[in-house]
Amino acid sequence: MFLTHYSSLLKKIDYALHTFMNNHIETVKGSPFLEYYYKKINDFLFTGGKRIRPILLVDSFSSIAPQEKDERIIPTSLSLELLHNASLIHDDIMDKADTRRGEKTFHISLRDYANENYSNTNTNSDDFGISMGILGGDFAYNLAYKAINTTDFPPAVTLKAAIEFNEGFFQIVQGVIIETEFMGRFAVTEDEYYTMIQGKTAALFEKAARIGAIFAEGTESQINALGEFGLTAGVAFQIVDDIIGSFGNPEKTGKPVDSDLKEGKKTILTIKAIEKANEKQRKTLSKIIGNQDANEAEIEEVRDIIKETGALDYARNKANSLYQQCITFLDEAEPTLDEKYKNYLAKIAKMGVNREK
């Protein structure tokens, strides 16, 4: 039942995104590079993302206004998918990631364009790819604003939603600033980590749920309950992202499985492992974590320490208990949420913790 609902919603969102992007591509017909570039952004958007944020927004809306057609809210939900993808394009530059969703990352794909087309000039293809990636993220951010501002809802409601959207964007940036600062340090506390992921990841889940509730003209109690649900589900989602980012199957995740460790990312796994490590393990961790040239055997050594210190189990348990906690918020809404959609929301959160990709 949920899976049928999820895939039907995903199809509708994809169709709306397709139409939205095609309208933009039309505006640059006759400018070959711009047309190529817009299509590249479009291709990136259609590489198989889970669409969890727009789906959260739509189901949050329906949990308050189940009688409304979801076609009405879908165009606004694109804003979250666009903002998310913009952040991924920039994230992959910062994380030096070559693959995303099993395909080349956006900046790498533009680097390769330069290699193929400008080999007879002095163009530095790495720089070209990074510049185009910075612009690609900006471009997608801009489209996201267009999607949140052009709705057929009353202007006051749209404005309230747009303010939340802006705040979500702000939280993401702040989270990534905090995360980037962590790179320079070996020891980061678990509390600092939660503050960071609440910004970089969970804020957008929170905003997705709140914005859906705002468009449904829900009560403050409903908006807040859905927001707390989204925030907590988002924290669980990022913990699982950390787990599959180092222990997942790259064929399934479509992302590198050693880059967090090589980049020295402070994930719940490394934070807990550092905290629990004995002296010998700690030495190994400090030598390998953040070493770009670490080989596979060394990375495997770190994975072993993450397991031996109990950090992996700790992270899994934490994600599960956050899932249990997040669904309790759904019962706090007054008036109560529609039962069917409340159930779908819980399933989305569950999908976020029980995922392989």
Phi, psi of 82 (to 5 degrees): -70, -45
Stretch that binds ligand IPE, among 47-55, 118-126, 146-154, 215-223 (CB under 6 A): 47-55
Residue closer to ligand IPE by CB (options 242, 337) is 242
Neighbours of 280 (CB within 10 A): 9
Residue pair 175/201 in contact by the 8 Å Cβ criterion: yes
Distances (CA, A) of 44 to 85, 170, 297: 8, 23, 33
Q: Which of 52, 209, 299, 348 binds ligand IPE (CB under 6 A)?
A: 52
Count of residues that bind ligand IPE according to CB under 6 A: 16
Residue 87 as a binder of ligand IPE (CB under 6 A): the answer is yes
Distance from C-alpha of 340 to C-alpha of 307, rounded to nearest angstrom: 39
- Report angle CA 242, 52, 219 to the nearest 5 degrees: 115
C-beta of residue 60 within 8 angstroms of C-beta of residue 48: no
Q: How far is the CB of 172 from ligand IPE (least distance, A)?
A: 5
Q: Does the protein bind ligand IPE through residue 49 (CB under 6 A)?
A: yes
Q: Least distance in Å: CB of 75 to ligand IPE?
A: 19
- Chain positions 281 to 300 lying near ligand IPE, rule: CB under 6 A, are none
Binding span for ligand IPE by CB under 6 A among 83-91, 128-136, 142-150, 188-196: 83-91
| Minimum distance, C-beta of residue 205 to ligand IPE, in the bound complex (Å) | 9
Alpha helices in the chain (DSSP H): 2-26, 32-45, 52-64, 74-94, 106-117, 125-149, 155-182, 190-197, 203-215, 220-247, 250-253, 259-263, 268-276, 279-288, 296-308, 311-329, 339-353
Cβ-based nearer residue to ligand IPE, 48 or 335: 48
Among 12, 96, 101, 276, binds ligand IPE (CB under 6 A): 101
For residues 176 to 215, the per-residue mask of contacts with ligand IPE, x marking binding by CB under 6 A and - elsewhere, is x-----------------------xx--------------
Other beta carbons within 10 Å of 241:
20
> Which segment (48-56, 62-70, 127-135, 309-317) binds ligand IPE by CB under 6 A?
48-56
Q: How far is CA 247 from CA 258, 289, 299, 315, in A?
A: 9, 15, 11, 12
Work out what residue 263 binds among Mg ion, ligand IPE, none; the CB cut-off runs from 5 to 8 Å by kind.
none
Other C-beta atoms closer than 10 Å to the C-beta of 346 total 17
Q: How far is the CB of 179 from Mg ion (least distance, A)?
A: 10
Q: Are 308 and 201 in contact (CB under 8 A)?
A: no
Exactly one of 76, 79, 238, 309 binds ligand IPE (CB under 6 A); that residue is 238
DSSP bridge partners of 103: 100
Q: Which residue lies nearer to ligand IPE by CB, 85 or 224?
A: 85
Q: List interacting residues with Mg ion (CB under 5 A).
A: 91, 95
CB of 87 to Mg ion, least distance (A): 10
C-alpha torsion angle, residues 13, 14, 20, 23 (rounded to 10): -150
The residue among 91 and 167 lying less far from Mg ion, judged by its C-beta, is 91
Q: Does 95 bind ligand IPE (CB under 6 A)?
A: yes
Shortest spacing between CB 95 and Mg ion, in angstroms:
4
The residue type at 341? Y
Sites of contact with ligand IPE (CB under 6 A): 49-50, 52, 87-88, 91, 95, 101, 172, 176, 200-201, 238, 241, 245, 255
